């Protein structure tokens, strides 16, 4: 009994998406979403080198002790901001 119901709900959701489109009409309001004209060259974005977790060092004498090797990249983060970013990574 569940399989036909799930199949019907999936079909209905697919049908609604085809009719209305995957994006709401508000996304295409004037001034919100614009692409360059065809044939116009798009400039490159500036290169970015974000902070990255490069490696993990595991100590043989204490296998539950880790040292994380972090490359701070070209970011100009303060010590506290870098600590927060490294915790997030």
- pLDDT tens digit string along 18-51? 776 655 555 555 556 677 889 988 888 888 888 8
Cβ–Cβ < 8 Å for 72, 82: yes
- Residue 36 CA to residue 27 CA, distance in Å, equals 16
* 38-87 residue pLDDT tens: 998 888 888 888 888 889 899 999 888 988 888 888 878 788 888 888 78
Burial 35-74 (b: 16+ CB within 10 A, else e): eeeeeeeeeeeeeeeebeeeeeeeeeeeeeeeeeebeeee
How far apart CA 69 and CA 86 sit, in angstroms, is 9
- For the four alpha carbons of 71, 74, 75 and 80, in that order, the dihedral sign comes to positive
Q: What are phi and psi of 9, to 5 degrees?
A: -65, -40
Tokens of 70: 């972090």
Tell me, yes or no, if the pTM score tops 0.75: no
């Amino acid at each position: 009994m569940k399989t036909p119901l799930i199949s019907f709900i999936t079909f209905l959701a697919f049908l609604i998406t085809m009719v209305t489109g995957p994006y709401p009409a508000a996304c295409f309001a004037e001034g919100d979403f614009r692409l360059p004209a065809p044939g116009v060259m798009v400039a490159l974005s500036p290169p970015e080198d974000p902070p990255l977790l490069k490696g993990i060092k595991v100590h043989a004498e204490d296998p539950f002790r880790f040292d994380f090797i972090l490359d701070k990249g070209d970011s100009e983060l303060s010590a506290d901001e870098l600590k927060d970013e490294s915790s997030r990574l």
